[in-house]
Amino acid sequence: MEKEMMDNSIEGCISCLSDDCLLSIFNKLESESDKNAFGLTCKNWFKVRNIARKSLIFHFSFNAKEYKEHAQCLPKMLARSPYLKLISLAGLSELSDSALYEVGVSGTSLQSFSLYSCSGITDDGLAQVSIGCPNLVIVELYRCLNITDLGLESLSKGCHSLKSLNLGYCTVISDRGISSIFRNCRNICALIISYCRGVSGVGFRGCPSTLSYLEAESCMLSPEGMLDISSGGGLQYINLYNLRSSVGLDCLGGVGSMKKLRVLNLRMCRYLTDDSVVAIASGCPLIEEWSLAVCHGVRLPGWSAIGLNCNKLRILHVNRCRNICDQGLQALKDGCVRLEVLHIHGCSKITNNGLALFSIARPSVKQMVDEAMSIGPSIEDLFRLQ
């Protein structure tokens, strides 16, 4: 009897706590399990838990039933959590535009929004989010196959604070959409357009100097587009892995005008020639890491230019380059005074004697046989909300 009266007294005291007091208590909880337990205490505490929720994350799953359940419950979860800063929806291919209505209605606090592989979302859904979420700084639309230039125009007009944008595999966008992003989002720092082969690069004309990071794997950039990409003057990292050419010519000479460039990935750029390598080596004095793996068009003039001009180069990748020989390796040995790591393997024209001479002359340079597919800063860091 006495215990029952004590329990009732405690319950009465708890029910008298204001929402502000409960929020203060909730914010001191560290583990996710404790936060979930808090929300299961009673209806009011469940409401407080939802109000305090800052992120909503659905991870990739290979369970089709689970995906369908997530898509169905999403609107209700969004309605219950009005102060979200981050929403990440991965792989919800059945997610429709209507499911994003609640995001647009209560999204003024939202700063990071990911629709990773949500292929059912169209320009209409993106427009809803753009109108209702003006403070977005991070947007990921990777493999959102139905997003077009119209969607990018809506995004750029509604979200002027955008800093990081992932458009990888958005295969129907073009320079028109890219141009609208740069015209209206003047603080953008990181952009991914990998496998967007409708983008030639001319949409970068007049891009802001804040743009410092660009991923453009397997794109079909033109010589004019490459010059426009460099027009902002702020690029420090650019990934042009497996760059395609619509005209079958080397268009990479324009990279040589990127004076602030520090990391350059040209792996498998089969159209690359010595002329472009010379322009880059002489025009990018700050370059610290450079991948030329599987670039068969680079010969002695290119390697000599790197040795002569790249005084800040620390890491160089030359794996499987058919046309680097002992003389090219000697040029790197005699120059590149700050070289620390050389990724070298499968270079058939380099002899054991050539490698031995390099090792004797430059014992501090670590020789690696592994082939790095990606180099430079982590994408995850660039798309992480601070």
Q: What's the pLDDT tens digit per position in 186-198? A: 999 999 999 999 9
CB-based burial label for 17 (10 Å; 0-12, 13-18, 19+)? middle
Q: Is the pLDDT of residue 42 over 70?
A: no
Facing residues of 366 across strands? 341
For residue 102 the two structure tokens come to 């609640």
Domain boundary among 168, 187, 206: 187
Percent of the chain with pLDDT over 70: 85
Say yes or no to pLDDT of 250 above 70.
yes
**Residue 260 and residue 180 share a domain:** no
363 falls within a domain: yes
346 & 245 share domain = yes
Q: What is the pLDDT of residue 21?
A: 57
Q: What is the pLDDT of residue 102?
A: 85
pLDDT at 6: 44
Where among 159, 187, 215 does a domain terminate?
187
Residue 129 lies in a domain: yes
176 and 261 inside one domain: no
Residues of the domain holding 74: 27-187
Query: What's the pLDDT at 5?
Result: 44
The whole-angstrom separation of Cα 292 and Cα 274 is 12
Spell out the long-range contacts of 343-346 with Cβ–Cβ below 8 A and sequence spacing 24 or more.
343/291, 343/293, 343/315, 343/316, 343/317, 343/318, 343/319, 343/368, 343/369, 343/370, 343/371, 343/372, 344/318, 344/319, 344/368, 344/369, 345/319, 345/320, 345/369, 345/370, 345/371, 346/319, 346/320
When the pLDDT of each residue in the chain is averaged and rounded to a whole number, the result is 88
Whether 91 shows a pLDDT value over 80: the answer reads yes
In this prediction, residue 77 carries a pLDDT of 83
Q: Are residues 166 and 253 in the same domain?
A: no
**Statement: residue 35 has pLDDT above 70:** no
Please give the torsion angle defined by the CA atoms of residues 209, 263, 364 and 296, in that order, rounded to the nearest 10 degrees: -140
Q: Is 134 in the same domain as 252?
A: no
Least confident of 3-7, 226-230, 338-342: 3-7
Burial bucket for residue 358 (CB in 10 Å: 0-12, 13-18, 19+): buried
Q: Are 192 and 215 in contact (CB under 8 A)?
A: yes
Taking residues 172-181, report their average pLDDT: 98
Instruction: Please give the Cα distance from 343 to 372 (Å, whole number).
Output: 8
Top pLDDT among 14 and 329 is at 329
- Which pLDDT score is estimated for 69? 77
Does residue 257 carry a pLDDT above 60? yes
Q: Are residues 70 and 147 in the same domain?
A: yes
Amino acid at 116: Y
Lowest mean per-residue pLDDT among 22-36, 48-62, 101-115: 22-36
Judgement on whether residues 110 and 176 belong to the same structural domain of the protein: yes
Q: How many domains does the chain have?
A: 2
Partners of residue 289 on adjacent β-strands: 263, 315
Position 9 pLDDT exceeds 60: no
Distance CA 305, CA 262 (A): 17
Other CB atoms within 10 Å distance of the CB of residue 356: 10
User: Tell me, what's the pLDDT at 51?
Assistant: 63
Pair 144, 279 in one domain: no
CATH label of the domain that carries residue 56: 3.80.10.10
Residue 31 has pLDDT above 80, yes or no: no
**Could you say which of 153, 187, 221 is where a domain stops?**
187
Q: Are residues 35 and 151 in the same domain?
A: yes
More confident residue, 7 or 377: 377
* 181 and 44 in a common domain: yes
- Would residue 297 count as lying in a domain? yes
DSSP three-state, residue 288: coil
With residue 19 as reference, give the H or E element that holds it: helix 19-26
* Residue 231 resides in a domain: no
Could you tell me which residue, 108 or 336, shows the higher pLDDT? 336
Look at residue 41 in the predicted model and tell me its pLDDT: 58
pLDDT at 278: 98
Asked, for residue 303, whether it belongs to a domain, the answer is yes
In the numeric block, the tokens 């990998």 are attached to 194
| pLDDT tier, 1 (very low <50, low <70, confident <90, very high otherwise) | very low
Residue 134 lies in a domain: yes
| pLDDT per residue as tens digits for the range 302-356 | 999 999 999 999 999 999 999 999 999 999 999 999 999 999 999 999 999 999 9
**Would 205 be classed as within a structural domain?**
no
Q: Are residues 35 and 169 in the same domain?
A: yes
78-105 mean pLDDT: 86
Do 46 and 146 have their domain in common? yes
DSSP state of 230: G
**Across residues 205-209, what is the average pLDDT?**
96
Establish if 206 belongs to a structural domain.
no
